[in-house]
Amino acid sequence: MATVELKNLRKTYLTEEIIKGISLSIEEREFVVFVGPSGCGKSTLLRMIAGLEDITSGDLLIDGQRVNDVEPGKRGLAMVFQSYALYPHMDVYKNMEFGLKLAGMPEAERRAKIEHVARTLQLEPYLHHKPGQLSGGQRQRVAIGRAIVRNPKVFLFDEPLSNLDAALRGQMRVELSALHRKLGATTIYVTHDQVEAMTMADKIVVLQKGVVEQIGSPLELYHHPRNLFVARFIGSPPMNFFSAIFQGGDAAGSSVQLRDGSTLHVPVTSPGLLPGTKVTVGIRPEHVELASSGPNSGVVEVIERLGAITLVHVRMPDGEIIVVQTDGAVLTDVETRVSLTLPPRNCHLFAPDGLAFEACHRHPLAA
Amino acid sequence: MALKTKTSTRIGVTILAWGIALWLFFPIFWMILTSFKSDVQAISSPPKLVFMPTLSSYAEVFERASYWHFALNTMIVSVGATAIAIALAVPAAYSMAFMPSKRTRSTLLWMLSTRMLPPVGVLVPIYLLARNTHLLDTCTGLAIVDMLTNLPIIVWMLYTFFREVPAPILEAGRMDGATRWQEMTMVLLPLALPGIASTALLSLILCWNEAFWSLNLTSSNAAPLTAFIASFSSPEGLFFGKLSAASTLAVAPILIFGWISQKQLVRGLTFGAVK
Ligand SMILES: Nc1ncnc2c1ncn2[C@@H]1O[C@H](COP(=O)(O)OP(=O)(O)O)[C@@H](O)[C@H]1O
Ligand SMILES: [Mg+2]
C-alpha cells in the first residue's frame, strides 16, 4: 500500500500548458477520483503519474520517493485503460501472466496467483480464450485481473466503465468498490461521470482546464461546493442558479434580494462584499419545495415522472427555469401555477468571481 | 455515396480490369510461349500461335550457362537485403509511429523522395564506393545497395502497419514492466506480423527483379538472374527462343512465389487504404 504525492505538476505540449500546476496528497488505501469535463486533462494527469507522459515540471512522489524519472514498469503501479488494451495475440491466462513473467516470477507461483485472481473475478472458464472472443464486460474483468495479479502499490483507472452499457456499468461500479474494500489498495480513478465519482470516491478531485477546482469528499463537494463550476458539475439533476442583489451580511448570514423583491437570508458569511453587488443564488432541485400559493410563483412547463421522484420544471416570471425534484406521487400538472419555497439553509451564494460564500455551519456529513 | 453500384457499371469495371490484367500479362505469356519455340520459329512472321513445342531452347540455355549459380546469387541477395532492411526498418518505423516528433512526417516524405531519384544519378559514386571497399561483384555489395534502395519503402510500409496497432496496448506492456525492446518484440511484432510479412514479400520481389545495380555492380561471381537474362540478349545476334527460355527461368520462381502469396500481398498493400 502506498501514498502518492503530486507537487505542482505541470505538463506542456509544444507551447500549450495542459496541466497547470497540480498539488495533491493521496493517502494509503484511499480511493481518489479525478473528475471533470472531457478534455480537462484528467487522462494526461493520470498518465503522468503512470509514467506514460513526461512531467514537464514539479515532483511526483510515491511512498515518499521521487519517481519522475522512474520507468512506468518500475513505479509499482498497474493501469486499466479505457479501451482495455488487452494483448490480442495472447489468451486471458497469458495476458495476466505477461507482467509476472517479465518480473521473473517462477511458473508455479504465477499459476497460483492467476488462478486465484481468475476465481475472484469469475474468469476461470475463459482463461484460454483470446480477448476477441470475450464480451465487453469480460474484457473489462480481464483488464482488472491483469492489474490485480501484479499486486501493485497503486491502481490507476482511466474511464474503465465508459465502454460498457448502462446496466453493466452500474454493476461494475459496485464490484469495483467492493474490490477496493477487499484489496485495500490506493486507487486513482479517472471519470467524466459525476455519478461514478460520487458513489466510489473517498476523495474527489474536480479538474477544469488543467487546474484543480476543488478537492474533498463527495458530500463535501455536494454540500459545500467551492465555486460555481463545482456546484454545477456535482449533483444530478444539476443545481438551479438565478441572480440576486446582495444587501448585507454579518456573522450569522447574508441577505439577498431576489428578482421578485422578496428577501432571502442565507446562513453564509460574506466578507468584504459591497451591498448592491450582483450575486448568484444556487439551490439543488431536491431542496426546492413546491407550494400551491405564496411568493416565487411560476408556471409548470415540463413534468418528468421517474416513478419514485418527479422533476418539475417551473418557468419563473423573469424567464428562468427552475427544476424542482419532488415526490413521485405529486399531482401537479403542466400549465398550472405553483409557488416555490427556497429553504435558506440549502441555498448557496456565489460572488461575481464565481467563488462560493463560506457557510456559517458545515454540514454534519461534510465536516 | 451509393452503396450498390449499378450492374452495368460493375460489368464495365470487370471488363476493364480483365482487359488491363490481360494487357499486363500478355508479354509474360508471349515470353513463355516463345521459350518453347526453336529460335527459327521464334522469329517467324507472322508469329505462330500453333506450333510443335520444344524444350531445345531450355536445353541450350542450361548447356551454356550455370542457371543455379545465378539463381543462388539472386536468392542470397534478395533474402539478405530483405532481412537487413526489415531489421533496420522495424525500430525506425516503431519510433516514428509511436513516438512521433514534429518532423516525423517530413522525414518520411524525404525518405520516400530519395526513391524518385534516377539510380543512374548516383551510379558513379556508388560504383566508386563499392570498388574502394572491395564490394564490387560480391553478394554483400549488391545486397547492401538493394537494401538501401528499398529501405524507404519498407520503413514507410511498416510505419503504416504499426500505426494500426493501438498505442494503449503497447503502453499496457510498458506498465507491465516491458522494456522498449520487449515492448517491440513481444507486443508489437506479433500484432504487426501480417504487415511485416507483406512488406518482406514486396522487398523480396523488388530485389529479385532489380536489374540496374545488378548489371553495373556485378560481373560473374555475384551475378544474379537479371544478369543471366542479359547475358542472352545480344552478343551473337538475337536468339529469341533462348532469351525467352532464360527469362522464363529467371522470373518463374518469383512468379510462383508471388502467386502463392498474392492474398497476403494484396491485403498488405491495401492495408492502410481500406479501413
Ligand atoms: N499528445 C498530445 N499532444 C497535444 N495535445 C494533447 C495531447 N494529448 C492530450 N492533449 C490535449 O490535452 C488536453 C487534455 O487531454 P486529456 O488529458 O486526454 O483530457 P481528458 O482525459 O480530461 O478528457 C486536451 O485538450 C487535449 O487536446
Ligand atoms: Mg481521458
Cross-chain CB nearest to A73 (options B177, B186, B190) = B177
From chain B, the residues in CB contact with A103 under 8 A are 177
Q: Are A255 and A247 in contact (CB under 8 A)?
A: yes
B19 has pLDDT over 70: yes
Which has the minimum average pLDDT: A188-192, B19-23, B106-110, B217-221? B217-221
**Pocket perturbation via mutation, ligand 1, pick of A17, A33, A40, A44 by most ligand atoms within 8 A of CB:** A44
Q: How much is the mean pLDDT over chain B?
A: 87
Q: How far apart are CA B96 and CA A150, in angstroms?
A: 31
pLDDT at residue B1 in the model: 45
For residue B154, what are the contacts with CB-CB under 8 A and spacing of at least 6?
A: B85, B86, B89, B199, B202, B203
Instruction: Note whether A85 contacts B168, CB cutoff 8 Å.
Output: yes
For residue range A135-168, list pLDDT tens digits in order. Answer: 989 999 999 999 999 999 999 999 999 988 888 8
Superfamily the domain B66-230 falls into: MetI-like (1.10.3720.10)
Residue of B nearest to A87 (CA): B169
For residue range A271-297, list pLDDT tens digits in order. Answer: 788 999 999 999 999 999 998 888 888
**For the residues of A271-330, what is the DSSP string, one character each?**
TTPPTT-EEEEEE-GGG-EEESSSSSEEEEEEEEE-SSEEEEEEE-TTS-EEEEEEETT-
C-alpha cell recorded at residue B97 = 509511429
Tell me, yes or no, if B174 comes closer than 8 A to chain A by beta carbon.
Answer: yes
For residue range B71-104, list pLDDT tens digits in order. Answer: 999 999 999 999 999 999 999 999 999 999 989 9
Tell me, yes or no, if B103 comes closer than 8 A to chain A by beta carbon.
Answer: no
Mean pLDDT of B203-209: 91
Mean pLDDT of A96-117: 95
B30 has pLDDT over 80: yes
Å from A217 to nearest chain B CA? 29
Q: How far apart are CA A25 and CA A20, in angstroms?
A: 17
Q: Could you state, in order of their start, the residue ranges of all structural domains in chain B?
A: 66-230
Cross-chain CB nearest to A73 (options B169, B175, B186) = B175
Tell me, yes or no, if B182 comes closer than 8 A to chain A by beta carbon.
Answer: yes
By three-state DSSP, how is residue B48 classified?
A: coil
Q: Report H helices in A20-135.
A: 42-50, 92-102, 107-120
H or E element that contains A162:
none
From chain A, the residues in CB contact with B187 under 8 A are 87
Q: Which atom of ligand 1 is nearest to the CA of A210?
A: 14
Q: What are phi and psi of B107, to 5 degrees?
A: -60, -45
pLDDT at residue B174 in the model: 95
Instruction: Note whether A89 contacts B190, CB cutoff 8 Å.
Output: yes
Tell me, yes or no, if B19 comes closer than 8 A to chain A by beta carbon.
Answer: no
Residue in B176, B180, B184, B187 to test binding to A, most A beta-carbons within 10 Å: B176
B118 has pLDDT over 60: yes
End-to-end CA distance of chain B: 16
Q: Which atom of ligand 1 is nearest to the CA of A190?
A: 21
For residue range A36-82, list pLDDT tens digits in order. Answer: 999 999 999 999 999 999 999 999 999 999 999 999 999 999 999 99
Tell me, yes or no, if A343 comes closer than 8 A to chain B by beta carbon.
Answer: no
For residue A166, what are the contacts with CB-CB under 8 A and spacing of at least 6?
A: none
Residue of A nearest to B173 (CA): A99
Ligand 2 center from residue A201 Cα (angstroms): 18
Q: How far apart are CA B8 and CA A108, in angstroms?
A: 66
Determine the Cα angle at A17 with ends A14 and A23, to 5°: 135
Instruction: Grade residue B272 by pLDDT with cuts at 50, 70 and 90.
Output: very low
Q: How far apart are CA A198 and CA B244, in angstroms?
A: 80
Ligand 2 center from residue A208 Cα (angstroms): 13
B14 has pLDDT over 80: yes
Ligand 1 center from residue A187 Cα (angstroms): 22
User: Which residue carries 490485480 as its cell?
Assistant: A148
Mean pLDDT of A309-336: 91
Ligand 2 center from residue A160 Cα (angstroms): 10
- Where b means 16+ CB within 10 Å and e means fewer, A242-266 reads bebebbebeeebbbbbbeeeeebeb
Ligand found nearest the CA of A83: 2
Helices H / strands E in chain B, number of each: 14, 0
C-alpha cell recorded at residue A219 = 458530500
pLDDT at residue A295 in the model: 81
Q: How far apart are CA A23 and CA A100, in angstroms?
A: 33
Kindly list the structural domains of chain A, giving each domain's residue range(s) and its CATH number in brackets, ordered by start.
4-231 (3.40.50.300), 238-366 (2.40.50.140)
Q: How many CB atoms within 10 Å of residue B231?
A: 17
B273 has pLDDT over 90: no
Q: How far apart are CA A70 and CA A60, in angstroms?
A: 10
Q: Which parts of chain A are beta strand (E)?
A: 4-13, 16-26, 31-35, 57-62, 65-66, 77-80, 154-158, 186-191, 203-208, 211-216, 240-250, 253-257, 263-266, 278-283, 289-291, 297-305, 309-315, 321-327, 337-341, 348-350
Angle between helices A136-149 and A92-102 (to 10 degrees): 20
A249 has pLDDT over 90: no
Mean pLDDT of B16-24: 93
B136 has pLDDT over 80: yes
Instruction: Note whether A83 contacts B166, CB cutoff 8 Å.
Output: yes
For residue range B209-248, list pLDDT tens digits in order. Answer: 888 998 888 888 888 888 888 888 765 557 788 888 888 9
Q: How far apart are CA A223 and CA A363, in angstroms?
A: 7
Ligand 1 center from residue A136 Cα (angstroms): 25
By three-state DSSP, how is residue B33 classified?
A: helix
Residue of B nearest to A77 (CA): B175
Instruction: Grade residue B275 by pLDDT with cuts at 50, 70 and 90.
Output: very low
Task: Answer whether 0.95 is exceeded by the pTM.
Answer: no
For residue range B141-180, list pLDDT tens digits in order. Answer: 999 999 999 999 999 999 999 999 999 999 999 999 999 9
Count of alpha carbons within 13 angstroms of residue B128, beta-carbon side:
3
Instruction: Note whether B172 contacts A81, CB cutoff 8 Å.
Output: yes
**Pocket perturbation via mutation, ligand 1, pick of A9, A11, A13 by most ligand atoms within 8 A of CB:** A13
Tell me, yes or no, if B187 comes closer than 8 A to chain A by beta carbon.
Answer: yes
Exposed/middle/buried for B11, CB within 10 Å: 0-12, 13-18, 19+? Answer: exposed
Q: Are A200 and A176 in contact (CB under 8 A)?
A: yes
Tell me, yes or no, if B178 comes closer than 8 A to chain A by beta carbon.
Answer: yes
What ipTM goes with this model? 0.88
Q: What is the dihedral of CA B235, B236, B241, B244, to 10 degrees?
A: 0
Percent of chain B with pLDDT over 70: 93
By three-state DSSP, how is residue B129 classified?
A: helix
Instruction: Grade residue B4 by pLDDT with cuts at 50, 70 and 90.
Output: low
Residue of the CA atom closest to atom 16 of ligand 1:
A41
Residue of the CA atom closest to atom 21 of ligand 1:
A43
